[in-house]
């Protein structure tokens, strides 16, 4: 019986384009993915992949999305923006898709605003779950699902390795878009960004618990928000995944 490979995809805003590069390399290498769990940007990439978007179709979709497809200003006291456009976008793309309709078992990781704990979403309608997983608290209004107010899963588990294990994966490949800073921070902006990264690392599962860990070296505020760098991010994801192929094949052997 062959080993089941699962993917844990971290959050990372616009850095999520790197996940597309990783997914493309695994497809091209003929490595089947048995299950996926994603947080925030990872939940969006994972959901679209699990729904059947592969290769050129996945890249075309990633290169075509704009912030207006994701967010709009909101008058809600709960957030300056709403990710309702993201939910509508997924509805147009995938129809009224449920988790049961997906080709690959998939989980979206959100954060429960009232308990601070992770909400592992695996049932019901897909689009609201992804929207909840991506909704940055304070900036984006929460999403209510089954009586719970849900926000970006990064507050509870930004690298859901344990979730993938619970889904039955024998081998977990974890893709982290918020790796350790490349050098000690020295001035105010660097210190702020490094502290943000450390908080996200602490909020996620320990990278050492993955069988293969892929830290994608993306740093700086602009990499979180600038979609204009999407090709660069996709190429970087491809490079990291290609370098890791020997380790992934060894783990599956």
**How does pLDDT run across 214-238, given as a tens digit for each residue?**
999 988 777 788 888 999 999 999 9
pTM, entire model? 0.94
Evaluate if residue 239 carries a pLDDT over 70. yes
Evaluate if residue 66 carries a pLDDT over 90. yes
- Residue 219: its pLDDT value, please? 80
Give the integer Cα–Cα distance in Å for 233 and 221. Answer: 14
Evaluate if residue 181 carries a pLDDT over 90. no
- Residue 190: its pLDDT value, please? 74
Look up residue 219 and give its DSSP letter: -
Give the integer Cα–Cα distance in Å for 200 and 196. Answer: 6
- Residue 1: its pLDDT value, please? 52
Place of tokens 């998939």: 106
Beta pairing, strands 5-9 & 171-176: parallel
What's the pLDDT tens digit per position in 20-58?
A: 999 999 999 999 999 999 999 999 999 999 999 998 899
Give the integer Cα–Cα distance in Å for 154 and 94. Answer: 25
Give the integer Cα–Cα distance in Å for 127 and 87. Answer: 5
Q: What is the 3-state secondary structure (H, E, C) of 166-191?
A: HCCCCEEEEEECCCCCCCCCCCHHHH
Q: Average pLDDT, stretch 231-247? A: 97
Q: What is the 3-state secondary structure (H, E, C) of 57-72?
A: HHHHHHHHCCHHHCCE
Q: Average pLDDT, stretch 196-219? A: 88
Instruction: Catalogue the active-site residues.
Output: 40, 152
- Residue 36: its pLDDT value, please? 98
Evaluate if residue 191 carries a pLDDT over 60. yes
Evaluate if residue 175 carries a pLDDT over 90. yes
Query: How much is the mean pLDDT over the chain?
Result: 93
């Amino acid at each position: 019986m062959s080993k089941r490979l699962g993917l844990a995809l971290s959050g990372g805003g616009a850095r999520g384009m790197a996940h597309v590069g990783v997914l493309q390399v695994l497809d091209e290498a003929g490595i089947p993915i048995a299950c996926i769990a994603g947080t925030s940007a990872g939940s969006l990439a994972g959901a679209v992949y699990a729904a059947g978007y592969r290769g050129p179709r996945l890249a075309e979709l990633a290169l075509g999305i704009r912030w207006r497809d994701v967010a709009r200003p909101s008058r809600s006291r709960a957030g300056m923006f709403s990710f309702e456009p993201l939910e509508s976008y997924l509805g147009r793309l995938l129809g009224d898709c449920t988790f049961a309709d997906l080709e690959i078992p998939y989980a979206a990781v959100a954060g429960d605003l009232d308990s601070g704990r992770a909400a592992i979403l695996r049932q019901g309608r897909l689009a609201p779950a992804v929207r909840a997983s991506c909704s940055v608290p304070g900036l984006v209004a929460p999403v209510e699902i089954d009586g719970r107010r849900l926000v970006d899963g990064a507050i509870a588990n930004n690298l859901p390795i344990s979730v993938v294990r619970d889904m039955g994966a024998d081998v977990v490949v974890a893709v982290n878009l918020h790796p350790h800073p490349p050098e000690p921070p020295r001035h105010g902006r660097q210190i702020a960004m490094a502290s943000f990264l450390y908080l996200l690392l602490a909020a996620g599962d320990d990278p050492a618990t993955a069988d293969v860990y892929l830290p994608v070296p993306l740093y700086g505020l602009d990499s979180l928000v600038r979609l204009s760098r999407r090709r660069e991010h996709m190429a970087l994801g491809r490079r990291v995944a290609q370098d890791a192929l020997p380790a992934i094949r060894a783990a599956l052997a």
